[in-house]
Amino acid sequence: MKYFVWLPVTLLLCVSSVYGADGFGQYTTGGAGGATVTVTNGADFLTYVETVDTPYIIQVSGTIELADADNGRVRIQSNKTIRGIGENPTIIGSLGFKNDCSNVIIERLTITCPEDYTSEEDGISVKDRITNVFITKCTLYDCWDGCLDIARQSDWVTVSWCKFYFTTPNDNNDRVSLVGNTDSSGDEGTLHVTFHHNWFGQHCMQRMPSLRYGRGHIYNNYYHCPGNIYCIWSRIQAEALIENNYFKEVNEPYVNNRDGAPVEEWGKIAASGNILDQCTGAVHPGTDTVFTPPYVYTLTDTALVPMLVQWGAGADGQDGFPPHWMFGMYGDFDLSGFVDLSDFSTLAGYWLATENIEDADYYPNGSVDAEELALFVTHWLYIPPDTTPPAAPANLWALGKDGQAVLQWDDNEEEDLDGYNVYRSTTFEGGYTQLNASLLPAPGYADESAVNGTLYYYLVTAVDTSGNESGNSVEACAVPELTANVILQENAAGFCDVEGIVDLGKHDGFTGAGFLDTTNANGAGIDWKINIASAGTYTFAWRYANGSGDRSSRLLINGIEEAAGINFAATGAWNNWDTLSVQVSLTAGVKSVRLEATNSDGGANIDSLQVSGPAPEIAICE
């Protein structure tokens, strides 16, 4: 094993997971023992994958359009390995399975399923009593209904080293992986699924995975999909074991109640070793008792997950592990932070070697020689400069007042923090101008150049003493007016939950990142949290769109109905936006605010909630 000289033991032992079936799908052998065939078109692909009872190793070369095979979808039979070869092997369409089949491996493929390409619209659809499936080293992107769904009593599945992403947010909300289906599917006792070392990337919004009834072992995955709704959801009777995953800049890393379901329908979660890097929203405590995996596995150090997964996941992912300098500087073979005597002995072992030297051949010329030695000496006992930025400031919110906007956010905790920068724009996610001439020493800023009646967007960054600037905070918005007011937007401070979806672009004309679309059900609602610093009369104004008939809702404050029969009249189209307001007399204190539909059509689409009065503030959801 060529990496034994420096890799931690946890990395050394998990290398086998790249090459062989493991997890709940560990007994999958695919088409082993069958003939190897290479296909380059949809017709031949259909012939081999749908051949009954005959094992095949089916090699996919080039791009295969399943529209040429069976109206965009195939139904894989048992005992098949489907493997991409050559440059960028791609399937366009949906890989489905013949009911009750088993023992299928899918690997090294890029898969996409555009809108209206086929009736299923999933990239991979493991449904109807499918067992022993191993999906590894695949890239699934822009699949209209879902990238990879596993449902209807299917069982013993592993999904490993795969990459999921969307090029743009789509109207179907960028769903990734639904495990389980309806309450009538008879899924109890099935749906044992392992997800490990997968990369959930750009514009993945939800279902990473969403579990119903099943047993999900979710470990060493990398989540980096800012603007998402949630990542992992353990739902009715499900159990999720969530270990050593790295969540970066995501909302709701793992939860078990997002839709107002009764407590007896909440799934269970046991979580340990996860890193939550600049995350927002709810996080389950992870203290439930769940299943024990019936197989041997080794956890990768969570801090190394982002680098390892980005190196190895996807159809073009590289096998093995990255060379040590991707984790630091050349020569630090043991990742101690220094190039020292212990590293010199490792370099000596590589000196003039020409085989199995990928971890030391920096220049790569096929030999570890004087060039590497010179670089090693340059780094000897070198202390690299601090290039790690602070965390992005959390919980930014803005108060609109007469002729100004007042910003508040949480103070960062880094010991080397030097201060903050504030940026302003009149458009969401663009055209920002820095407002402060010098770093702000503490959280809080008053923008006294703001003009009444103008909608402004603000964001804040943190800067350390080495000059490293953090990523952006969530954006907050404010409208300076004579009456003090706060505006609550989706995926920002003060927004707690929606029984439905955060839509990021289906209809235009919204402010902020998107709008809130409740499910079409009586009682479906949206939850916010505010603080009333001074008692008095407050105006609640919703910017909304309603393309169909009138929709009725009610306003609840701390669970008590304060306004009934709020009629959101039809606006003529879903991109025609209007404003509706009610007045409420409130005592001082933190208030849970809920707008709840009182008809079976659900509520109108809500762009934002503005609360105006003597002294409104935005509170932080628990």
- Give the catalytic positions in this structure: 207
How many residues appear in the chain?
622
DSSP state of 574: T
Identify whether 285 is preceded by a cis peptide bond (ω within 30 of 0). no
370 Rama class: left (phi>0) / alpha (psi -120 to 50) / beta = alpha
Q: Count CA atoms closer than 13 A to 45's CA, side-chain side.
A: 31
Helix then strand then coil, in percent of the chain rounded to 5, is 10, 40, 50
Beta strands 445-447; 404-408: pairing state: antiparallel
Position 30: which residue type? G
Beta strands 275-277; 246-248: pairing state: parallel
Q: How many Cβ atoms from other residues are within 10 Å of residue 86's Cβ? A: 12
What residues pair up with 567 in beta bridges, in sequence order?
Answer: 552
Q: Cα separation of 27 and 21, whole Å?
A: 7
Q: Cα separation of 81 and 311, whole Å?
A: 24
DSSP state of 184: T
- Give Cα separations from 541 to 196, 229, 343 (angstroms): 45, 24, 64
Q: Cα separation of 447 and 457, whole Å?
A: 11
Position 482: which residue type? L
Sheet of strand 476-478: strand arrangement: 433-434, 417-425, 456-464, 476-478
22 Rama class: left (phi>0) / alpha (psi -120 to 50) / beta = beta
Position 461: which residue type? T
> Cβ neighbours of residue 292 under 8 Å, at least 6 residues apart?
none
Q: How many Cβ atoms from other residues are within 10 Å of residue 63's Cβ? A: 14
Q: Cα separation of 604 and 583, whole Å?
A: 19
300 Rama class: left (phi>0) / alpha (psi -120 to 50) / beta = beta
SS3 586: strand
Element (H, E) at 571: none
Contact 236, 262 (CB under 8 A): no
Q: How many Cβ atoms from other residues are within 10 Å of residue 133's Cβ? A: 28
Q: Cα separation of 569 and 559, whole Å?
A: 25
Contact 76, 49 (CB under 8 A): yes
- CB-count burial class (<10 Å; 0-12, 13-18, 19+) for 370: exposed
| Residue corresponding to tokens 């409740």 | 518
